[in-house]
Homo-oligomer: A and B are copies of this chain.
Amino acid sequence: MRQLRLSFLMPPLAAMLLAGCAAQKPVPAPAVAPALRGTGDLGLIIERATGSVQVVEHSGDTALGRVEGLGDLSHAAAVFSRDGRYAYIFGRDGGMSKVDLLTRTIAKRVIQAGNSIGGAISTDGRIVAAQNYQPGGVKLFDADTLELLSEVSTRDEATGIASKVVGLADLPGNRFAFSLFEAGAIWVIDAADPRAPKVTKYPNIGKQPYDGLGSMNGRYYIAGLYGEDGLVLLDLWKPEQGVRRILNGYGRGAEPLPVYKMPHLRGWAVSDGRAFFPAIGHNAVLVADTQTWKEVTQVPVAGQPVFAMISPDGRRVWVNFAFPNNDTVQVIDVPTLSVVQTMKPCKGVLHFEFAPRGEEVWLSCRDENRVEVYDTQTLVRKTTLPADSPSGIFFTWRAARIGL
């Protein structure tokens, strides 16, 4: 049995107690009349302890300002409007905020659930979907007004249990896929009519799916299982084949290590016919062949991986780790499937984000209150930005991608 210390399933009490402990660093105040500018190089840094975000730009690698009052951001994620102007930020307390990156103000904010873990935006950008732990289910909102359009409940009539929703991903054609933690299922929503979404259910996929991802071309939805030793795959070009197990038994009977932090399946995972996944409870990154979905190899790494994300140039996979190795980042070379760099940039590396064409990467250093920007070619640090307990970093280029 896995030893489970699932912070992701617990109420964010500790985070709430911690909120406000960090002193705010000075960043530019919001401009009265924002200058005309493009939004293609904008992004935001989640400041998890203070319920704020910094608006940043990656052409000059600077902070533009801070937006406060976003609630509990202890496990926050963001998606962007199709014009790149607005960020939709999903807070742990069920708050959903629409932030204007140009004026650096909150355009709209609603409390839509008791405990939320993230969201997605439809292909056409008109529907924002929120995935909820409490009370479970997925809610669909109008991206402009945040009006609630419909709700897909995950409550099981027989047991009364409403499954936590994990791994929500957008799919082509205004569809969304997600996984049900308790029910062990994958559901696909067709939101062609967002007020009356159609749900296709794939039950009995395995125990405790904990996260999922949509491939960059919208073909595959893959979920990781916490309660079993494997992952599951749905080929959306061949939905009649249903969900199948992949990389089954990757632990090969070895006793899993205690899990202090759940890995994430978000981000880029496929390059050059290879897919990369963090193993749970093992110090390894799993590599699968995307034609056969069989295991190619396991790359030994410095700890339990949290994110294993491919740079947009497809050449390297960057990996961060759970405690006690969260001071380490490793870089895997895709052609040789070997670690080519081990860095210790700072303590508490929670997340990282690439510039859209991959020339630089931003690393959040929660425990040292800063964000580090690295040149991905030279692996040399370019600059440092102060930030309060930074966690997720999200750039607007995600608006133009499938599965992010």
Contact = CB atoms under 8 A, between A and B. Distances in A.
B82 A217 contact: no
A102 interface: yes
Chain A contact residues: helix, strand, loop or mixed: loop
- Which of A38, A39, A400 is the most central at the interface, judged by chain B CB atoms within 10 Å of its CB? A38
A69 to B, nearest CB: 21
A391 interface: no
List of 7 A-B pairs having minimum Cβ-Cβ separation, nearest first: A40-B84, A38-B85, A217-B314, A38-B83, A356-B400, A172-B313, A397-B400
A39 B396 CA distance: 10
A312 B82 contact: no
Contact of A81 (B38, B83, B400): B38
Interface string A172-207: 111000000000000000000000000000000000
Interface residues of A, number: 52
Interface in A188-240: 217-219, 237-238
Contact of A357 (B123, B273, B291, B377): B123
A2 interface: no
Contacts of A80: 40
Given A39-B38, A314-B218, A314-B219, A357 B402 contact: yes
Contact of A172 (B102, B238, B315, B399): B315
A123 B42 CA distance: 16
Contacts of A356: 82, 399-401
Contacts of A39: 38-40, 83-84
A34 interface: yes
A68 interface: no
A83 B41 contact: yes
A124 interface: yes
B84 A84 contact: yes
Contact of A82 (B59, B173, B271): B59
Contacts of A81: 38, 40
Contact of A218 (B173, B238, B313): B313
Given A172-B313, A218-B313, A313-B402, 19 more contacts: A34-B36, A38-B81, A38-B84, A39-B39, A39-B83, A40-B80, A40-B82, A40-B85, A41-B84, A123-B359, A124-B357, A217-B312, A217-B314, A219-B314, A273-B291, A356-B400, A357-B400, A358-B402, A400-B400
A335 interface: yes
Nearest to A399: B40
Contact of A37 (B42, B85, B123, B272): B85
A331 to B, nearest CB: 14
A151 to B, nearest CB: 24
Interface string A72-106: 00000000111111100000000000000111000
Contact of A217 (B37, B125, B237, B313): B313
A189 to B, nearest CB: 15
A401 B40 CA distance: 12
